[in-house]
Structure 1
Amino acid sequence: MGVILAVVGLLFGVKVGLDWQSSQQKSAARMTKNQDQTLTIFNWGDYIDPTLIHEFEQKTGYHVDYETFDSNEAMFTKIEQGGTRYDLAIPSDYMIQKMRAANLLEPLDYHELKDLQEYDPELMNQPFDPGNRYSLPYFWGTLGIVYNDQDVAADELKTWNDLWNPKWNQSVMLYDSARDVMGVGLASNDDDINSTNMSELLAAKGRLDALMPNVKAIVGDEIKMYMVQNEAKIAVDFSGDAQQMLAQNSHLHYVLPQGRGNMWFDNMVIPKTVRNKKAAYAFINFLADPTHAAKNAEYTGYSTPNVGAKQLLPAVVKNNPDFYPSQQTLKKLTVYQDLGLDWTTTYNDLYLEFKMNNHR
C-alpha cells in the first residue's frame, strides 16, 4: 500500500510539475507577445500630439508606453543604466553625439525606413551625427527673443546686445538652461557658442552679470505662462515655445536675433536597449508621413524637418522667417556640440555663479 501511495504521489508530483512548467511557458509566451506588441518611447514632456499616439495604436495594433524626461542629462543617465528598455528616444543634438561615443545607440537600418525623401536635405548630415547613421530629425528650431508689443517696439530687439538696454530693467525672463544662457553671453560678444576658450567664457559670464539688472526671473517651462499673462515684457526662449505663446496672446512676437546664435535639433534614435525594433521603425515611418508630421508641428509649435509637412502648414507659419529662417541666416547659427565633462562642468559652474548673483 505504501508503495502504491508513493507511486501515486510521484505521478501527482510529476503532473503538478508539468502543469507548473506549462503555466510558466504560457506566461512567458504571453509576456513575449505583449513585448512584441508594445512600443516604449522616451520623449520630452508635451512634445507630441497625443492623438497621433492613439492613431498609431489603432493603425498598427501596437500599444505605446510613453515616458517623459525634462533634461538630456536625465535621459542619458536612465538609458545608460538600462533599467527600462526604451525602443525609441528623442535626445538633442549634442547628447546624440555623447550617446554615440558611449555606444548607447543602434545604427539605423535604412532598408526599414520609408519616406526618407521627406526629410529636408539641408537639415540632415549634421556634425553631431554625420550621414544620419544613428538619428533622424524630429523637430528643430532656434533660440530667440519673445517680446510683448504693448511694451516693446518691433525694432528694439534686433540683436542679443539689445537685451542690455537699461530701458529693460527688471523686464527680461531667461529660460533656466546653462548652455543656452551662456550661449547668449558668448553670442553677445560675437564668440563661438561652443567655445572652450576660458577667457571667452569668463567674458561671457561678465556680460551676463552686467545683464542682471534687467533680469526679472530665471525660470523653466512656466516662462510661457508668464508671457501669455503679460507678466513680463521680454523672454529668451525657444522658437517652439514662442509659437505656443503667440497662439495664446496676439501681443507677443518672436524674433531671431541677428548674428551668432543657436540652431538646435531633437532627433529620433533607437537605444541599444531596444526590445521592439520593428515597432520603433513603424513609429518613425508613421511620423514621416507629411500629414502626421504637419499635425505634430501644429500641436507643438516647433519647426518640422519634413518638406511635405511644411507645405501643409498655414502660410503665416511656413512663410515666417523667424520660424523657418533662410539658408543665409541658418549659416550664421551653430548647433551645440558635446564639450566633454570638464568643459560642461565649467559652463555649469559659471552659470550657477550667475544665478546665485541673481538671488542676492
Structure 2
Amino acid sequence: MVHSRRMFLRQAGLAGIGLSFTGALGACSRGKPARSLNLYTWDTYIGKNTVADFAKAAGAGVNISLFANNDELFAKLRSGNQGYDVIVPSNDFVERMYAAGMLTELDHAKIPNLKNIAPQFLNPPFDPGRRVSVPYTWIVTGIGYRKSKVDGVPDSWKWVLDSDRYKGRIALLAEASELFEIGAKYLGHPANTNDPAVIAQVKAMLLKQKPNIAAFHDDNGQDLLLAGDVDLVIEYNGDIAQVMRDDPDLAFVVPREGGILASDGLCIPRNAPNPDLAYAFIDFVLGAKAGADIARTIRYPTPNQAALALMPDDYRNSQVIFPPAAALAACEYSRYRGQEMNSRYEQAMTQVRAG
C-alpha cells in the first residue's frame, strides 16, 4: 500500500488538518469545552503517543494544524497570531520571525527539561542563548533515491540540478531559499550568499533543468519516491528514513558539495492564547520518554540526549538519520539574510516555476 503523510498521521492517532484530540482529563464539567493547546506544525512530525500522553498529563486537548513549508507558516502569522500556542519553524525562519516581532521571548525557568538538550544545540548562531526557540530536531537536506532505478550513488547535486539523465524522474524542493542555497553550493559558492549574480546563475540552471523535473514538492517528496512517481528527490534525511522502513529499495545521500543543515524549533508566537499550556507542552516534549517517542516515530535526528539514550541501535547507528561527520563537514546552516534577499529568492523561484 502506498504510504502517505495523512495515513502516517492516522496511524499515529490523528487525521486530517485542523485535527483535535482531548484526553479524558480534558473534559470540563457541565459540558463546557476543554482547554486546548493549538499547535501549528509540519506533517508527520509528532510522536505516535505525544498527543494522547500530553492530554492525559496536562488535562487539556490538542488541536493540530499543518503547514507545508516555512513560507506558508510565515504568511499565516504575518498579519498576527490567529490563535496558535506553539509553532515549529526552521532555524532561518526563527531568525526571520524574531526580527518581525512574531515570537515570545522564552522563560527558561518554565522549561526545566531544557537540561535534556545536548550542549551543542543550546547556543546556535540563529538564536543565541535560545531566546525564542527550543530545539525539536536537527535536519540535513540531501538526495533520496531508488537504488534499483539509479545507476550508482547520486553523490552530487548535479544528478538532480544539472543533468537530463533521469528526465521526468526528479523532484525538487519548492521552498525558494533552500533550493537556491543548494544550487549555490553546487556551483561552488557559499549557501548563504548575498550575490545577485549567483542567484541569477542558479535561476538560469534551474530554468534549463526544468524540462527534466517531474515536480516541485511541498514536504511530500518522500511520498513521491515511495509511490514510484520519481526516482530522485531533494529531501530531508528524516523523511527518507521514514519511508525506508516501508521500502528497502530507497536510500539517502548527502552530496559531496554539502547539504543544508537545519534545526526546527518549538516557539511560542506572540499573543498565544494559552501560554501556560504552551510552556507545559514544550517541557513535556523535551522529556526523555516523550522525546524518544517522537524520534522513534518521525526518524529525524534528535538533539535530546536523554531521549537518544533510550533509542535502539538501528536509530543511533543509522547513517541516514546521523550522516557521517565527513559529509556533515561540508554542510551549512541556512541563515536569514533580510527581507530583500528573501524577496529576490521568491521572485527568482516564481520565474522558474512559470518558465
TM-score range, shorter chain: 0.7 to 0.9
Q: Determine the structure 1 residue equivalent to 2:10.
A: none
Alpha carbons 2:68, 2:219 under 8 Å: kept? no
1:151 aligned to 2:149?
yes
Deviation of 1:313 (Å): 2.9
Q: Determine the structure 1 residue equivalent to 2:267.
A: 269
Q: Determine the structure 1 residue equivalent to 2:122.
A: 124
Deviation of 1:47 (Å): 1.9
Deviation of 1:193 (Å): 1.8
> Please, what TM-score do these two structures have when normalized by structure 1?
0.82
1:332 aligned to 2:304?
no
Deviation of 1:320 (Å): 2.2
Q: In the alignment, residue 209 of structure 2 is paired with which amino acid?
A: L
1:161 aligned to 2:158?
yes
Q: Determine the structure 2 residue equivalent to 1:111.
A: 109
Alpha carbons 2:111, 2:279 under 8 Å: kept? yes
Deviates most, 292-301 or 314-323: 314-323
Q: In the alignment, residue 136 of structure 1 is paired with which amino acid?
A: V
Alpha carbons 2:288, 2:306 under 8 Å: kept? yes
Query: Within 5 Å, which residues of 2 pair with 1:126-145?
Result: 126-145=124-143
Gaps of 5+ in 1: 1-29
Deviation of 1:253 (Å): 0.3
C-alpha distance in structure 2 between counterparts of 1:177 and 1:73, whole Å: 7
Alpha carbons 1:171, 1:234 under 8 Å: kept? yes
Q: Determine the structure 2 residue equivalent to 1:58.
A: 56
Other structure's SS at 1:127 match = coil
User: Quick one: structure 1 residues 265 and 301, their matched pair in 2 at CA, closer, same or farther if it must change by over 3 Å?
Assistant: same
User: Quick one: structure 1 residues 120 and 295, their matched pair in 2 at CA, closer, same or farther if it must change by over 3 Å?
Assistant: same
Alpha carbons 2:97, 2:103 under 8 Å: kept? yes
What per-residue deviation string (whole Å, max 9, x for no partner) do you get for residues 69-116 of structure 1? 233233334334335332221111111112211222221111111222
User: Quick one: structure 1 residues 241 and 280, their matched pair in 2 at CA, closer, same or farther if it must change by over 3 Å?
Assistant: same
User: Quick one: structure 1 residues 75 and 221, their matched pair in 2 at CA, closer, same or farther if it must change by over 3 Å?
Assistant: closer
Other structure's SS at 2:144 match = strand
Query: Within 5 Å, which residues of 2 pair with 1:174-253?
Result: 174-253=172-251
Number of paired residues? 326
Higher helix proportion, which one? 1
Gaps of 5+ in 2: 1-28
Aligned residues: CA RMSD? 2.5
Deviates most, 261-270 or 42-51: 42-51
C-alpha distance in structure 1 between counterparts of 2:224 and 2:139, whole Å: 21
Other structure's SS at 2:199 match = helix
Alpha carbons 2:71, 2:175 under 8 Å: kept? no
Alpha carbons 2:226, 2:247 under 8 Å: kept? yes
Deviation of 1:308 (Å): 2.4
User: Quick one: structure 1 residues 176 and 83, their matched pair in 2 at CA, closer, same or farther if it must change by over 3 Å?
Assistant: closer
User: Quick one: structure 1 residues 327 and 343, their matched pair in 2 at CA, closer, same or farther if it must change by over 3 Å?
Assistant: same
Q: Determine the structure 1 residue equivalent to 2:15.
A: none
Other structure's SS at 2:260 match = strand
Percentage of matched positions with identical amino acids: 25
Deviation of 1:213 (Å): 4.6
